[in-house]
Amino acid sequence: MINNIANSVKELCQHDSSGHDWWHIYRVVNLAKNIGSKEKADLLLVETAALLHDLDDWKLELSDSENLPIARKLLAENGATADFIERVLTIIKEVSYKGAGTKTKPSSIEGMAVQDADRLDAIGAIGVARTFAYGGYKNQPLHDPNLKPTLHNSYEDYKSTRTSTINHFYEKLLLLKDRLNTKTAKELAVQRHRFMEQFLEQFYAEWNLD
């Protein structure tokens, strides 16, 4: 089942240039399994949910993130039981970041592992690279000193506000280290967080050269 699902996911995201390509999925699967094994989670559930976590995401505008039709269909086609499908879909719904003022703690240890893995891949050097790729995909400016970051209090706000890629660090990325669930992920986040702070420092130093 896992191999078939992985092959389908690989095919579906092969043309992605928004930072949600197959290698993002691959990294999240490995990180989630690593975290999950330390936290004694059900690793089949963790791996399946990690593989499918971005297929129906609102950010990619391909699908419906409430009903997750693509993930649901792939699971059913590959013989997953109704109970397993519901558990995977619950994890996927709980993974997504919904703005600074919105709490999103998953209800299971498997969900925590997948959410932590996805968040770790959003920070550090890979996070910086993916953030600028996503900003380009959304036609956002790299940085505009006149656009100030906003800490969104609702999911709707977070989805609709126009921003710059540099602002995204303040609206999401720098907040992630304090919104991780597991001890393993918190340890992995320290170095990645520090790297983003150094990146921003250097970015402003170059920007303000005059």
Residues of this chain that interact with Ni ion (CB under 5 A) are: 54, 118
CB-CB contact of 22 with 10 (8 Å): yes
Q: Which two tokens stand for residue 21?
A: 């390509």
Cα dihedral sign, 169-156-138-127: positive
For residues 54 and 94, which CB has a smaller minimum distance to Ni ion in the complex? 54
For residues 15 and 40, which CB has a smaller minimum distance to Ni ion in the complex? 15
- Beta carbon of residue 51, minimum distance to Ni ion (angstroms, whole number): 11
Q: Exposure pattern of 27-63 as b/e (b: 16+ CB <10 Å)?
A: bbbebbbbbbeebebbeebbbbbbbbbbbbbebbeeb
- Beta carbon of residue 111, minimum distance to Ni ion (angstroms, whole number): 14
Of 118, 95, 122, the C-alpha closest to 107 is: 95
- Beta carbon of residue 8, minimum distance to Ni ion (angstroms, whole number): 17
For residues 134 and 169, which CB has a smaller minimum distance to Ni ion in the complex? 134
Instruction: Give the Cα separation of 42 and 86 in Å (integer).
Output: 15
- Beta carbon of residue 154, minimum distance to Ni ion (angstroms, whole number): 21
For residues 94 and 118, which CB has a smaller minimum distance to Ni ion in the complex? 118
